[in-house]
Amino acid sequence: YVKSTKEILEKASKERYAVGAFNFNNMEFLQAILEAAEEEKAPVIVATSEGAIKYIGKGDIEAGAKLAVEMVRTYAEKLSVPVALHLDHGRDFKIIMAAIKAGYSSVMIDASHLPFEENLRETKRIVEIAHAVGISVEAELGKLKGIEDNVVEKESVLVDPEEAKVFVKETEVDFLAPAIGTSHGAFKFKGEAQLDFERLKKVKEYTQIPLVLHGASMVPQDVVKLANEYGAELSGAKGVPEDMLKKAIELGINKINTDTDLRITFVAYLRKILSEDKSQIDPRKIFGPVFEQVKEIVKERIRIFGSSGKA
C-alpha cells in the first residue's frame, strides 16, 4: 500500500534500521524492487532522479512524473508492504513542482553544490512549499564525487556537523543526506573504502532526524566479474562494504540510496542471457530472468539494511 516517506523513515529512525531507496527508470526495475520488498515483508522507497522522469516521459516532465506516480500506485495498492515514491536529487524547481503536483510523497532538493547560505535558502524555499501541501523534503550537505546526473562534483567535501545543526533548525527539512565519503557510481574508492563515522555520529546527535546515505551501492565483485566475463569493462569497480553499511545504520542512517547495484546486476545477466540464448527474441523471455536477478539483489540489500519484516 502507499505510505508517506516521512512515516516510513521516522519509524526506521526510532527503531534504528534503514529502508532502501531504490532508483528506477522503467517498469521492470520498479516491478523487481516492489516484488523484493513484498517478499521481504519490508517497507520500501522507490525513487526517480530528474533524468528518470525525463526518460519515462520522453522529455515531457509532467507526463513522466504522472506515469511514475500511476505505475507505483497501481502496483503498490496490491502489496501488503508500505511503499513511498521519492524524487531523487531534485535541482530544477519546475521538476520538483511537477513531482509534488503529480503525487510524489517526498522530494529531495539537492543544492549541496552551492555555498552553505545558498543551499540553506533554496532548501528553506522548497520546504515551505512542500510542507504547505503535506510533502516531506530531503536535502544534502557536503558534496559527493561522481556524476549526480548533471553535476560532476570534483571534490568530495564532507559534511560539517555544526553546519548540519544550523541547517536543519533553520530549514525544518525532514531528512538530511550528510556527505561522509561515498560517491555515486561503480568506482567509489581509489584505495580502501573509508567513511567518516565520527561526522555521521555528530550529525545524528545534533539533528535527531532520519539521515540518508547516498552512493551506498556495494558493487558486488562476483556480479562485476560475471559482467566482465560477458564483455563488460567494469574493472576497478568498488563499492561500500557490508560492515560499513551496518555501522552507518547503527549510527543513524535510515534511508539508503541504491542504484548502481541494480544496474550492474541488470547488465551482467542481460549480457549472459543474450550470449547464451542466441535464438531468443521475446523480450519477456530475456527481461524475465534478468529482473529475477535484480529482485534478488534488492532482497539482499533489504536484509542487510535491517528492514526485512519491518512492514
Residues marked active site are found at 88
Helices (H) and strands (E) in the chain, counts: 12, 10
Using the rule CB under 5 A, is 112 a contact of Ca ion? yes
Using the rule CB under 5 A, is 140 a contact of Ca ion? yes
Of 129, 74, 83, the residue nearest 107 (C-alpha): 129
Phi, psi for 60 (deg, rounded to 5): -95, 105
Using the rule CB under 6 A, is 220 a contact of ligand PGH? no
Whole-angstrom distance, CA of residue 83 vs CA of residue 243 = 27
The least CB distance from residue 110 to Ca ion, in Å, is 4
Give yes or no for a contact between 174 and 212, defined as CB atoms under 8 angstroms apart: no
Stretch that binds Ca ion, among 32-40, 105-113, 252-260, 296-304 (CB under 5 A): 105-113
Range 22-51, binding ligand PGH (CB under 6 A):
23
Contact with Na ion (CB under 5 A) among 38, 88, 153, 174: 88
Can you name the residues that pair with 178 across neighbouring β-strands?
141
Give yes or no for a contact between 86 and 174, defined as CB atoms under 8 angstroms apart: no
What lies within 8 Å, CB to CB, of 66 at 6+ separation is: 57, 102
Stretch that binds Na ion, among 6-14, 55-63, 80-88, 228-236 (CB under 5 A): 80-88
Whole-angstrom distance, CA of residue 138 vs CA of residue 96 = 12
> Do the bridges between strand 211-213 and strand 253-258 make them parallel or antiparallel, or are there none, so unpaired?
parallel
Of 59, 52, 128, 146, the residue nearest 90 (C-alpha): 52
Per-residue binding string, Zn ion, 242-261, x by CB under 5 A, is ---------------x----
Using the minimum distance from each CB to Ca ion, give the nearer residue, 159 or 268: 159
Contact with ligand PGH (CB under 6 A) among 216, 268, 290, 302: 216
The least CB distance from residue 260 to Zn ion, in Å, is 10
Using the minimum distance from each CB to Ca ion, give the nearer residue, 69 or 120: 120
Range 91-110, binding Na ion (CB under 5 A):
108
* 151 backbone φψ class: left, alpha, beta (φ>0; ψ -120 to 50): beta
Side-chain-facing half-sphere of 191: CA atoms under 13 Å = 2
Q: How many CB atoms lie within 10 A of CB 203?
A: 30
Using the minimum distance from each CB to Na ion, give the nearer residue, 76 or 137: 137
**Residue carrying C-alpha cell 560499513:** 244
Q: How many residues bind Na ion (CB under 5 A)?
A: 2
Using the minimum distance from each CB to ligand PGH, give the nearer residue, 132 or 141: 141
Using the rule CB under 5 A, is 143 a contact of Zn ion? no
Using the minimum distance from each CB to Zn ion, give the nearer residue, 257 or 260: 257
The site partner of 195 among ligand PGH, Zn ion, Ca ion, none (C-beta below 5 to 8 Å per kind) is none
Whole-angstrom distance, CA of residue 62 vs CA of residue 230 = 38
Can you name the residues that pair with 176 across neighbouring β-strands?
139, 211
Contact with Zn ion (CB under 5 A) among 86, 124, 188, 214: 214
Stretch that binds ligand PGH, among 36-44, 210-218, 220-228, 283-291 (CB under 6 A): 210-218
Binding site for ligand PGH (CB under 6 A): 23, 88-89, 184-185, 214-217, 257-260
Binding site for Zn ion (CB under 5 A): 214, 257
Binding site for Ca ion (CB under 5 A): 110, 112, 140
